[in-house]
Amino acid sequence: MTGNILYSFRRCPYAMRARLALKISDISYQHREIILRDKPASMLAFSPKGTVPVFITQSGRVIDESLDLMQWALAQNDPNNWLGKNQAETLKLIAGNDGPFKHHLDRYKYPSRYGDVDRGATDPEHRDKACMIIADYESRLRAHDNLIGDAASLADFAIFPFVRQFANTDRDWWDRASFPKTQAWLERHLSSALFQSVMIKHPLWTE
């Protein structure tokens, strides 16, 4: 293998946060943009679970969990000290995002996929439960510019792509919601040069 390879899907929040860490760490790679309904055989050979991101290092190591990839990238180079914050608190926040928040986000955004929720366009019960977690972010952001202090850290970049997905599920509702600090935090990260750089559209990769 002549270099690192990343299988990615532009709109996937897991892939977004992986690309953010790879970008800030200045790690080069061959970008392979896929569509999830037609996964390439080569990606499935590396990672049979069939989710993105899938990163193959130059040495042949396969990293197919986004948080693992973020931590791997930052271990190589962490110029903005994303790993320098309270790691126990960081991992607890990310676990809350990847577990309960993602559970409710999926059922809010895609109710027709789940047999245990209302089959309407969105599911307000799960939206409200997700908002209990957003309320914790709001409280934190009243005290600091970011989730664990004024400087952005791993927690912010691992979480905001999912809050973006939550906000975009019903943008009119989100814009009226009483989370001014979280809304401003999200917009600040979305408008950043870093985020814009990892959202560049790539042509579909084929075998």
**pLDDT of 104 over the 80 cut:** yes
Average pLDDT, integer, range 51-63? 97
Q: In sequence order, what DSSP letters do the residues of 179-199 get, joined into one string?
A: -HHHHHHHHHHHTSHHHHHHT
Residues 52, 5, 13: CA angle, nearest 5 degrees:
25
All domains in the chain, ordered by first residue:
5-79 (3.40.30.10), 84-193 (1.20.1050.10)
111, burial (CB in 10 Å: exposed 0-12, middle 13-18, buried 19+): buried
> What's the rounded Cα separation, in Å, for the pair 56 and 4?
6
Tell me: pLDDT of 153 over 90.
yes
Tokens of 123: 């599911």
Helix axes 13-24, 154-169, angle to 10 degrees: 150
Residue 198 near residue 160 (C-beta atoms within 8 A)? no
| Predicted confidence band of residue 181 (pLDDT cuts 50, 70, 90) | very high
Q: How confident is the model at residue 115 (pLDDT cuts 50, 70, 90)?
A: low
Q: Which whole number is the average pLDDT over 40-65?
A: 97
pLDDT band at 124 (very low <50, low <70, confident <90, very high): confident
Q: Are 127 and 120 in contact (CB under 8 A)?
A: no
Cα–Cα dist 28/151, whole Å: 25
Q: Are 8 and 53 in contact (CB under 8 A)?
A: yes
